[in-house]
C-alpha cells in the first residue's frame, strides 16, 4: 500500500527537507491538489509553487524551466501525457532536474507504474518517497466528508463496514480511492 499523506504532512516534509524528489499519486483531479498544496504552503511556509507541464516544445523546455526556476517547490503535472520515451529521456538527464527545489511528480497509478519502470535512475533517488494524496479529514467540514463518503459508497457499491472488514483482513484493493475512504472514516491506521 502506498503511504498516504495530506497537504499538511507533505508541506511539513517540504519544510524540513527542502531538497528532494517525490511522487504524489493523485486519486482525483490535479487542480484540487494544487490548490490545497498552495494554501498549505502559504500557511506553513513562505514557499511558492511552480507548476511545470510538458508542452509542444518538449522535454528541452521542461529542463529549461527547471534551470531558470526560482521557486523552492516544483510540481510536474500532466505526466499521463508523457510517452515511455519521455520518461527514459528524463531518467538519463536526471542531473538537469537537480535545482535544490523540492520536486513533486503528480501522477495517477498507471502513470506512476510507467514512470518508475522507465526511469530507474530517477526511481532510485525518489526511493520510498512515493505518497498517496489524501484529503486532510481534520480540515474538512463534516458535511464535506459525508458527501465524499456517499460518492465512494455509490461508486463502488460497498458500505463503510465492508471496507473496514476488507482493510482489516488485508483484502482491500490498493486503489487510492479506498485509502481515501479509510482516511475519511478516521481509520488511517488500517492503511498498509
Partner 1 sequence: MKRFNPSAAPINAIADGLIHEFPERSIYKRLALGADLSQGSQQLVVGGIGSGKTTELLLAQRELAKRAEILPVYVDVSSVTDLDAVNSGALLASLGLSLWTHVEGNSNVPRDVQAAYSQIRKAAYGYTDVSPDLGDFDDREDWNLRTTQVPGKLNPPSSNLKRDVTDLAKSVGVLTAFLKDQGKDVVSIFDGLDRLNKVDQFWTVVEQDLRALRPLQISVVAAGPLAILYGQGRVIQDYFEYVHYLAPAMASPAKSPFLLDVLKLRGAGDLMSEQQMWNLCLASGGVLRDLISLARSTAESAYLNDADEATDLHVQKAIQQLGNSYLLGLGTNQIEGLRRVINGDGFAPSDPASLELLISRRVLEQAGSRYEVHPALRLLLK
Contacts with partner 1, residue ranges (CB under 8 A): 1-3, 5, 9, 12-13, 16-21, 59-60, 63, 88-89, 91-96, 98, 112-118, 120-121, 123-130, 192
Nearer to partner 1 (CB atom), residue 32 or residue 114: 114
Q: Which is nearer to partner 1, 80 or 160 (CB)?
A: 80
Neighbours of 99 (CB within 10 A): 17
**Least distance to partner 1, CB of residue 159, Å:** 28
CB of 61 vs partner 1, minimal distance in Å: 12
**DSSP run (H or E) holding 5:** strand 3-5
For the bound state, the minimum distance from the C-beta of residue 18 to partner 1, rounded and expressed in Å, comes to 7
Strands (E), 78-157: 102-107, 130-133
3-state secondary structure of 185: coil
Q: How far is the CB of 49 from partner 1 (least distance, A)?
A: 19
The smaller minimum CB distance to partner 1, of residues 14 and 30, is found at 14
The minimum distance between CB 126 and partner 1, in angstroms, equals 7
Q: What are the backbone angles phi and psi of residue 66, rounded to the nearest 5°?
A: -65, -45
Assign 2 to helix, strand or coil: coil
Contact 107, 79 (CB under 8 A): yes
| Phi, psi torsion values for 143, nearest 5 degrees | -65, -35
User: Do 27 and 180 meet the contact criterion of CB atoms below 8 Å apart?
Assistant: yes
Closer Cβ to partner 1, 114 or 153, answer by number: 114
Amino acid at each position: 500500500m502506498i503511504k498516504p499523506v495530506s497537504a499538511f504532512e507533505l508541506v511539513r516534509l517540504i519544510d524540513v527537507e527542502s531538497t528532494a524528489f517525490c511522487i504524489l499519486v493523485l486519486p482525483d483531479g490535479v487542480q484540487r491538489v494544487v490548490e490545497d498544496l498552495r494554501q498549505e504552503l502559504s500557511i506553513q511556509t513562505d514557499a511558492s509553487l511552480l507548476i511545470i507541464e510538458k508542452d509542444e516544445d518538449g522535454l528541452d523546455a521542461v529542463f529549461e524551466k527547471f534551470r531558470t526556476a526560482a521557486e523552492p517547490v516544483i510540481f510536474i503535472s500532466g505526466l499521463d501525457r508523457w510517452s515511455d520515451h519521455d520518461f527514459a529521456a528524463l531518467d538519463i538527464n536526471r542531473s538537469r532536474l537537480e535545482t535544490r527545489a523540492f520536486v513533486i511528480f503528480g501522477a495517477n497509478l498507471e502513470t506512476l507504474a510507467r514512470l518508475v519502470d522507465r526511469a530507474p535512475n530517477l526511481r532510485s533517488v525518489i526511493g520510498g518517497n512515493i505518497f498517496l494524496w489524501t484529503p486532510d479529514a481534520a480540515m474538512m467540514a463534516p458535511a464535506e466528508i459525508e458527501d465524499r463518503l456517499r460518492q465512494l459508497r455509490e461508486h463502488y457499491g460497498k458500505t463503510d463496514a465492508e471496507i473496514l472488514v476488507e482493510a482489516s483482513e488485508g483484502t482491500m484493493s490498493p486503489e487510492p480511492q479506498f485509502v481515501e475512504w479509510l482516511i475519511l472514516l478516521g481509520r488511517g491506521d488500517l492503511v498498509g
